[in-house]
Amino acid sequence: MTNTIDWPSDIHAALRDAGAAQIPYVPDAGHARLIQLCRGDPTMRAVALATEEEGVALLAGAWLGGQRGALLMQSSGVGNCINMLSLTRTCSFPLLMLVTMRGQWGEFNPWQVPMGQSAPAVLELSGLAVYEVAAPDMVGETVAAAAKLAFGSSVGVAVLLSQRLVGSKSFKD
C-alpha cells in the first residue's frame, strides 16, 4: 500500500502555523522533503548544522531574539545533545525537536540500533515531553500539539517520527 499522505507538508504547515522561523537541521534523508519545504518558505530560515547540539543553542538564541523554531534531526543525534538539553530545562525556553527514528522497523545498520532504541528514554530523562507518531494522518496534528506545548509552556518537546513512517533504508539507498 502506497502512502498518499504528504506528512512532510503537514509538518511544514504545523510549523508555519506555530510561527516557527528558525529551522536548524542536520541533513537527513528522512527529513529531506521537509527541509526542502522549509528552505523554500520565505518566512523560515533553514540552517544546516554540523552537529545536532548546535541546533539547541541556535534555538535558544532565536528564542531570546523573539523567534520560534524547530530542530530537525535523526535519532542517532539525540546522544549528541544530552548536555545541551539541560539548557532548555535550566533556562526555561521552548525547544521543539522533530526526530526521524532509526534502529526500529526494518533497520539494516546495527550501529543505528542502540541510540534508536534508547532515544525516547534519553529524551524523557533529559526532561523533554516525547510524542511518538507512526501514522501519516497523525503527523500534522501531533506536531501542532507539540508546538503548542513547547511554545505555550516554555518546555522541551520531541516528536519522534517512527522508522515505519519514514521508511527503512538500505545500503543501496
For residue 2, name the pLDDT band (cuts at 50, 70, 90). Answer: very low
Residue 101 domain flag: yes
Which residues span the domain enclosing 139? 7-166
**What confidence score (pLDDT) does residue 163 get?**
83
Residue 75 domain flag: yes
Three-class HEC string of the chain: CCCCCCHHHHHHHHHHHCCEEEEEECCCHHHHHHHHHHHCCCCCEEEECCCHHHHHHHHHHHHHCCCEECEEEEHHHHHHHHHHHHHHHHHCCCEEEEEECCCCCCCCCHHHHHHHHHHHHHHHHCCCEEEEECCHHHHHHHHHHHHHHHHHHCCEEEEEECHHHHCCCCCCC
For residue 103, name the pLDDT band (cuts at 50, 70, 90). Answer: low
| pTM for this entry | 0.90
**What confidence score (pLDDT) does residue 155 get?**
95
- In one letter, which amino acid is 152? G
For residue 170, name the pLDDT band (cuts at 50, 70, 90). Answer: low
Q: Residue 168: is its pLDDT beyond 50?
A: yes
Residue 172 domain flag: no
Residue 116 domain flag: yes
**Structural domains counted in the chain:** 1
Q: What is the pLDDT of residues 105-148, one digit of tens each?
A: 766 767 766 677 888 999 999 999 999 999 999 999 999 999 99
Q: What is the pLDDT of residues 30-78, one digit of tens each?
A: 999 999 999 999 999 999 999 999 999 999 999 999 999 999 999 888 9
Residue 162 domain flag: yes
Residue 149 domain flag: yes
CB 68 within 8 A of CB 95: no
Which residue, among 140, 158, 154, 138, has the nearest Cα to 55 in the 3D structure?
158
CB 120 within 8 A of CB 91: no
**What confidence score (pLDDT) does residue 117 get?**
83
Residue 2 domain flag: no
Residue 1 domain flag: no
For 3, 127, 164, the CA distances from 120, given in Å and listed in that order, are: 25, 11, 16
Which residue, among 112, 48, 52, has the nearest Cα to 84 in the 3D structure?
52
User: Domain containing 76 — which CATH number?
Assistant: 3.40.50.970
